[in-house]
Structure 1
Amino acid sequence: MTGKEQATVAALVEIVLGADAASQALAALAIDPDLMAEGTPTVSRGAFAMAMNVVLFHDLLERVPSGAAYVADRTARGGKVTFDHGALRTVRLPEGPTGALPPGEEAFTRIFLPLGYEMAAIYPLDRLRMTGRAYRHADWPEAIPQFFLSELHVDRFDPEFAEVAARVFGTSRDPLTTEAQAVLARYAAGEDVTFADAAAALPVIVSAFDRQHEPASIGDYELLLSRSHEAAWIATEGNAFNHATDRVADVAGLAERLKADDWPMKEKLEVSRTGRVRQTAFRADTVERLFAGHELRRVPGSFYEFISRDIDPETGGLDLAFDTGNATGIFAMTSAKPD
C-alpha cells in the first residue's frame, strides 16, 4: 500500500489543509480507529464524509478564536474533541432557487445524501420562522458528525423582507463544479471513487460551506436584522458552519468550570424534553465583514458549542436526537447587535 492508501482520511485532510494544519486538526479530534484505518485504493463515502468534517472543523476554529483557544486548552490537558455535529443555515425563497444555488436545504442535501447521510428528524423552529433537520450518517451514526441543517422560510415574513432577501441571496453562485457533482453522483450510485477523484472533489465540496452571495448593503442588512437575526447572520456568513459541537461527558460541570475561568459561556444550560440531551455554548465571536460600498462593520460570527448525550434506553445507544427548544436557545448565540 502507498502512504495514501494506508490512511485515507488523513491523506485527504492533508491535501486540503497541508501537512502541519492537518496534523494539528487530526490530533485534536477523537475519531473511530476503524474509520481512520481505511486504506483501500478507493475512498468510501464514510471516509470522505469524515475527512470533509475534519476540514470543516478546522475552518470553524480558524474563524472562532474562542473555540480555537478552548480546543488548545483541551489538548494541552491531554484531552481530545469528540466532534458531535456541525450546524448550517440556509435560505428558501418563496419560489425557485436561491440565485444559482438549489433552494434552501437542497443546496446541502445534494452533498449529504450521496455521502451516506440520512434525514433523522425534523425540528420546527417556528419562533425563528425556520425548520431544522438532522442528518445522520447511515454507516457510522455515532462516529461521523451529524449535521443540523436549518432553513429560513422567506415566505413567512413580510413583502419588504422578501424583496430584500431576494436581492441579497439571489446573487448566490453555485460552487460545485461538474466534476465534483460527478463524484457525488458516483457515491449516490454506490460506485467506487478513486483516491485521486475524491481528493480533487473534496476542496470543491468544502467550498460549498461558505458565503456564496455578494456582500449586502448596510441598508439591506439592517432591514434583515430588524426582522430576523438569523437572516442577518446568513447575509454576512452565508452557509459557513454556524457552530461546531464538542460531545463531552458532563456538559453542566464543564460549563461551571469554564464560567469560573471567565470563558464567554452562555448563561443557561439547554435541556431536552427527555432530559438526555444537554447543550450550552460560547457566545459568538465578533468578526469584521465587508459590506457593499467597501464599508466594514463588526457583526456576530460563528461559535463553539458543547453537548452531553445520555444512553437512549429504547436503543441502548447514545441518544443522537436534537430538541427544538434547545436549538432555539442555542441559535440566540448569534443574536447580538452589530457594532
Structure 2
Amino acid sequence: MSIENDGHVGALTIAALGAADGREALDALAIDPALLDQRGETVSRGAFAMAMNVVLFHDLLERVYSGAHYVADTLSRGGRVTFDHGALRTIRFPDGPTGALPAGEDAFTRILLPLGYTMAALYPLDRLRMTGRAYVHTDWPEAVPQFFLSELHVDRFDADFADCAARVFGTSRDPLTDAAKDVLARYAAGDTVPFAVAANALPTIVAAFDRQHDVPDFDDYQLLLSRSNEAAWIATEGNAFNHATDRVADVAALADRLKADGQPMKDRLEISATGRVRQTAFRADSVERRFADGAVRQVPGSFYEFISRDVDPATGRIDLAFDTGNATGIFAMTSAGA
C-alpha cells in the first residue's frame, strides 16, 4: 500500500504485515482519525508508534486464542477495540547488561523515548520483586497506546536464582540493527523519517518484542519457577507482549457477560485506590514451548486484558494512571497455577 493511497499508520502496518493481515489488524482497532490521516513524504514519531502498536497487537492475537476470539466477537457485534496499553517484562541483573541487551527496561526505553513516550509514573511491585513504569505518548496521550514496562530485579533473589538467571538470560542477543538505531536516533533528535526508511525499520524494531535469549534448560526453568512465576514466564516468552488491553466503557458488565458465556475470566475485578481504574482479564492461554532437552511442554503464554477508566475530576480527562495493587493482581494471570 503506497503512501498516496493510505495514511502513514495504515501504510506502515500493511508494509509490515501484508495486505490481508494488515487490513484486518487496522479494522479491529478504533484509531484516532487524525492519526490515520497523517500523510506526506516523512513519517512522524506518533504515526510510527501507532503502527508499531498495531503490529504488536496483531502479534498478541496470533498467540492468544481467547483474545482473538473476543476481538472477532466484538467486531461481529459492530464494535472495535480501543487499545489502551500493552505490557512487557524485562530482566535486570545487579550490574551490567542482560547479555547483549541493555539492562532491564533500558532495552525498551531506547525505543519508546525516541518515539515520543515519556515515563508517567513508577509502580513498585514489591511482592513480585519487580518495578513497573508507565510510559505515555507525549503527542497523543489518549490515542496512542501506553506501555506498562516492568523489570524483575535479580538481586532481590537468592544466589542460586541469580546463577540460573545468568545462564538463561545472559545469552540474550540485541535484535536492533544499525539502521533501526539510526531511525530511532533521528526521531530522538526531533526529525521525521522518510516513509521507505521507516517502513524498513519497523519490522526490526517490532522484533525486539520477542524472546532474545536461548531456549532454556528445563531444570533452569523449574528453578526460576520455584522462586518467581514471572521469571519463568520471561524464560519461555521473553520480551513479547505479556498482555494487550481493551479500554471498555463498563468492565464489570463486560466481565459478567463473558463469565456467563463460559470465558476463562479472572475471578474478580481489580479496582484502583482512586476507584477510577478497574481491570480484569482472561487467564493466560497455555502454549507449547520447546526446551533445551528437545521436549515440548505446556506453559502459560500471554493474555488479553480489559480496563475501564473514569474521568479524573482534577483534569477533566480520562485517568490514564495505573495502580500497584491492580498490576500485582493482573500479573497473576500468567502464574503456572492460574
- TM-score relative to the length of structure 2: 0.99
Show the 5 A alignment for 1:89-168. 89-168=89-168
What is the alpha-carbon distance in structure 2 between the residues aligned to residue 290 and residue 68 of structure 1? 23
Q: Deviations over 1:108-137 (max 9, x none)?
A: 000000000000000000000000000000
The residue that corresponds to 1:21 in the other structure is: 21
SS in 1 for 2:278: strand
| Residue identity opposite 2:276 in structure 1 | R
| Residue identity opposite 1:10 in structure 2 | G
The residue that corresponds to 2:202 in the other structure is: 202
The residue that corresponds to 1:320 in the other structure is: 320
Residue 226 (1) aligns with residue 232 (2): no
Q: CA deviation at 1:6?
A: 4.2
Gaps of 5+ in 1: none
Q: Deviations over 1:215-273 (max 9, x none)?
A: 11010000000000000000000000000000000000000000000011001100000
How many residue pairs match? The answer is: 337
The residue that corresponds to 1:308 in the other structure is: 308
What fraction of aligned residue pairs are identical, expressed as a percent?
Answer: 74
Q: Is the 8 A contact 1:280 1:305 kept in 2?
A: yes
Q: Is the 8 A contact 1:117 1:137 kept in 2?
A: yes
The residue that corresponds to 2:249 in the other structure is: 249
SS in 2 for 1:289: strand
SS in 1 for 2:42: coil
Residue 272 (1) aligns with residue 272 (2): yes
The residue that corresponds to 1:188 in the other structure is: 188
Moved more, 188-197 or 115-124: 188-197
Q: Is the 8 A contact 1:287 1:299 kept in 2?
A: yes
What is the alpha-carbon distance in structure 2 between the residues aligned to residue 279 and residue 142 of structure 1? 17
The residue that corresponds to 1:63 in the other structure is: 63
Gaps of 5+ in 2: none
The residue that corresponds to 2:237 in the other structure is: 237
| Residue identity opposite 1:243 in structure 2 | H
Show the 5 A alignment for 1:70-89. 70-89=70-89
Q: Is the 8 A contact 2:270 2:280 kept in 1?
A: yes
SS in 1 for 2:317: coil
SS in 2 for 1:280: strand
Q: 1:14 to 1:76 in 2, by over 3 A?
A: same
User: Structure 1: which 4+ aligned runs deviate by more than 4 Å?
Assistant: none
Show the 5 A alignment for 1:24-39. 24-39=24-39
Q: CA deviation at 1:5?
A: 6.8
Q: CA deviation at 1:336?
A: 2.4
Q: Is the 8 A contact 1:4 1:11 kept in 2?
A: no
Q: Is the 8 A contact 1:5 1:40 kept in 2?
A: no
- TM-score relative to the length of structure 1: 0.98
What is the alpha-carbon distance in structure 1 between the residues aligned to residue 291 and residue 102 of structure 2? 24
SS in 2 for 1:124: strand
The residue that corresponds to 1:43 in the other structure is: 43
Q: Is the 8 A contact 2:284 2:304 kept in 1?
A: yes
Q: Is the 8 A contact 1:269 1:279 kept in 2?
A: yes
What is the alpha-carbon distance in structure 2 between the residues aligned to residue 4 and residue 88 of structure 1? 34
What is the alpha-carbon distance in structure 2 between the residues aligned to residue 107 and residue 65 of structure 1? 28
| Residue identity opposite 2:182 in structure 1 | A
The residue that corresponds to 1:288 in the other structure is: 288
SS in 2 for 1:99: coil
Q: CA deviation at 1:293?
A: 1.9
What is the alpha-carbon distance in structure 1 between the residues aligned to residue 337 and residue 280 of structure 2? 20
Aligned Cα root-mean-square deviation (Å):
0.9
What is the alpha-carbon distance in structure 1 between the residues aligned to residue 167 and residue 7 of structure 2? 45
| Residue identity opposite 1:206 in structure 2 | V
Q: CA deviation at 1:185?
A: 0.1
Residue 214 (1) aligns with residue 204 (2): no
What is the alpha-carbon distance in structure 2 between the residues aligned to residue 218 and residue 274 of structure 1? 42
Q: Is the 8 A contact 1:5 1:39 kept in 2?
A: no
What is the alpha-carbon distance in structure 1 between the residues aligned to residue 92 and residue 272 of structure 2? 27
